[in-house]
Amino acid sequence: MEKSYTMPIYQKIAIDIANNICNGYIAEGTTLHGRSALAGKYNVSPETIRRSIKILEDLKVVESIKGKGIIVLSRSNAESFLKKYQNITNVSSYKSQLSELLSSRSKLESQILETMNKIVDYSSRLSTINPLVPFEFLIKSNCKLIGQTPGQTNFWQNTGGTIVAIKRGEDLIISPGPYIEFMENDILMVIGDTHVNTSVPMFLYEK
């Protein structure tokens, strides 16, 4: 699973300083406290403050001048910096949401597959015809529908049966939909009334 994005403390401090500049609490031309004082204010090491100030220096928000301290250069650059990190936060949030959705989809697909496997298992043991128990039809090499789709052939309209799954080799394709192409050796799993047991073979092979 995708891990959520955690912002380092030095970036958070840089954002806090930029916020104070944008909100007018720190004016352009103002000299900030020294690194030791800022380290005490934020309860971090001077090295962490150095990294925070370096971010702001690279973006021309502040400038460190030897003998004078840290000078605030530009409120507009501080605003640009905040927008950049807002975008990063949004992307991280979207990635986290996507990860959760993919996880939910995976669980749902597993539940569908489990249910379908139960239906397949029961279908091999039940002797009484039930419209919810799928019939199985093998696509042989002489099938006229090979290369076409259920949608193109109007499968349901012509047979009265609904394809709920297709066995393709070792794979079981659940709810294949109208756009999957029929392939040789596919096994169609079709539900419907008893007449589909004759209507489907006729549709697959009779000209």
Task: Please name each of the domains of the chain with its CATH number.
Answer: 9-90 (1.10.10.10), 135-205 (3.30.70.1450)
User: In the structure encoding, which two tokens stand for residue 57, read together?
Assistant: 């220096």
| The one-letter amino acid at 100 | E
Judge contact between 146 and 183, C-beta under 8 A: yes
DSSP assignment, residue 167? E
pLDDT at 184 over 90: yes
For residue 44, what are its two tokens?
Answer: 């971090």
pTM: 0.40
Q: What integer is the mean pLDDT of 198-207?
A: 88
Task: State the angle between helix axes of 35-42 and 9-22 in degrees (0 to 180), rounded to the nearest 10.
Answer: 100
For residue 121, is pLDDT > 60? yes
Q: What type of residue is 171?
A: D
Please, are residues 166 and 116 in contact by the beta-carbon 8 Å criterion? no
Task: For residue 122, name the pLDDT band (cuts at 50, 70, 90).
Answer: low
Average pLDDT over residues 127-156: 83
Please provide the average confidence, as pLDDT, over all residues in the chain.
81
Structure tokens at 33: 């406290």
- pLDDT at position 22: 85
Beta bridge partners of 173: 166
**Per-residue model confidence (pLDDT) at position 67:** 77
Written as one letter, the residue type at 137 is: F
Region 154-178: mean pLDDT is 90
**Higher per-residue confidence, 116 vs 139:** 139
